[in-house]
Homo-oligomer: A and B are copies of this chain.
Amino acid sequence: MTDHTGTTADDDAREDMTNPLERKVVTAILYAVDVGDRLRLIELMEPLHPADIADLLEQINAFDRMRLIKLYDREFDGEILTELDESIREEVIRTLNPEVLADAVRELDSDDVVDLLEDLDEAQQEAILDVLEDSDRVAVEQSLTYPEYSAGRLMQREVVMAPEHWTVGEAIDYLRRTEDLPEQFYHIVLVDPKLRPVGNVTLGKLMSSRREVALASLLEETFHVIPVTRPESEVAYAFNQYHLISAPVVDENDRLVGVITIDDAMAVLDEEHEEDILRLAGVGEESRLSDSVLETTRQRFPWLAVNLVTAVLASLVIAQFEAAITQVVALAVLMPIVASMGGNAGTQALTVAVRALATRDLTGSNVWRVIGREVMVGLVNGLAFALVMGLVGIFWFGSPALGGVIAAAMVINLVVAGLAGIVVPVVLDKLRVDPALASGAFVTTVTDVVGFFAFLGLAVLVLL
């Protein structure tokens, strides 16, 4: 079998890729905007999906964006708005002709309108709510009463349901009679007389069963009901863990109020991951490529300020050993190595721990085993690099004692890095502080301080 696995698909990834926003296309579109050729612009935009148009608007600069939107005018599709990054959504909404905006918003499903409204200021929210029909407006306002980032905000209110005692035939006749079914639906939700969901029947099962079969006999095995206040991150986790396609949402009385589908869950999962990566790197989680210089500076400044405090702490440790450094200047040359190795080892351990906490793989059942593992990994890697650095000390500086000091400091700091890398995120998680956000600063402080102190302290004991 092994001969089958020789090639991997990544090799020719890009040749194969059809990129709708090729450089050529973007250039042609911007040229059409420059010369004000509306027909040509519409022609060029026609093959693009609203998601691609949103990407295009994010990639070009603000001036081109404004001119493009003005020229495109009433071709502007509501779905483009829902696909746009929040950072430029407000700007685009302000640019749009009010009539075009009204048409665009009226096309959207209620959950998309909610998503749109969440990030706008009050005046803009009112402007959009005003163009909705009364029933839509009520639905949207109702959704906005649920907490931000909850299932209630994520769900769509349009649900296809049936009484639990119906047969396949009754359900099919009902579907055929009903005028305004949702655009996409995958299940019929069976409900009891109090409107509490009791199970899902897939459309596939419905289509392939005889008319007289009871719906209740066709229920899917996996059935998850989601409370309306559940955080969207947990909703995404459940969809991913249990391979759900859609799940009913219930209010505090267990009554069916909406349904969440996998595409919404996938979008949440995508955002959560993005936030985790950006938080781990100390970048504001809302960071976008289209943010301005000032906005970006503002997002990154706090993390750099935290790092400055950490670095100054480390400097205070070094300052205690000024006399030693004046006598053996090699200490100053070698000391950043110990701190840097510790910082990297700590980051490795904490990244694994933060991810495992997010995916619920790190629990009370295995936390001690994982702590033990990290310490052992730190010890083994520490010994390996101690050997290397010992040799560097001997051959570069001709001092076996200096080699011994840096080797011992390396072992100490890598063990501490492994320990801090797992303990800090676990403790932060217990304290309900997001470990992705805060672990890095703590762990680096520990490895910097311990790294400098162990190396310089041992040097004073052994060399002076």
- Given the known interface contacts A269-B266, A296-B373, A348-B283, the answer about A329 and B337 at a Cβ–Cβ threshold of 8 Å is no
Q: Check A204–B203 contact: CB distance below 8 A.
A: yes
Residues on B with beta carbons closer than 8 Å to the beta carbon of A14 = 432
Residues on B with beta carbons closer than 8 Å to the beta carbon of A23 = 363-365
Per the 8 Å Cβ criterion, residues 200-244 of A in contact with B are 202-204, 206-210, 222, 227, 229-234, 239-243
Q: How far is the CA of A360 from the CA of B21 in the complex (A)?
A: 10
Q: Is A97 an interface residue (CB 8 A)?
A: no
Residues on B with beta carbons closer than 8 Å to the beta carbon of A365 = 21, 23, 26, 59-60
> Which residue of B is nearest A347, CB measured?
B281
Q: Mark A229-265, 1 if CB is under 8 A from B, else 0.
A: 1111110000111110100000000000000001101
- Given the known interface contacts A281-B351, A377-B300, the answer about A311 and B340 at a Cβ–Cβ threshold of 8 Å is yes
A424 to chain B, nearest CB (A): 14
Residues on B with beta carbons closer than 8 Å to the beta carbon of A274 = 355
Q: Is A437 an interface residue (CB 8 A)?
A: no
A453 to chain B, nearest CB (A): 13
How many interface residues does chain A have, given as a range? 35 or more
Q: Check A315–B293 contact: CB distance below 8 A.
A: no
Q: Is A458 an interface residue (CB 8 A)?
A: no
Q: Is A10 an interface residue (CB 8 A)?
A: yes
Q: Is A395 an interface residue (CB 8 A)?
A: no
> Which residue of B is nearest A324, CB measured?
B329
Q: Is A111 an interface residue (CB 8 A)?
A: no
Could you pull out 20 A-B pairs where Cβ atoms are within 8 angstroms?
A: A1-B117, A9-B150, A9-B231, A10-B233, A21-B365, A23-B364, A23-B365, A49-B242, A59-B363, A186-B204, A273-B277, A289-B370, A293-B376, A300-B381, A304-B345, A307-B344, A310-B340, A322-B333, A332-B332, A336-B339
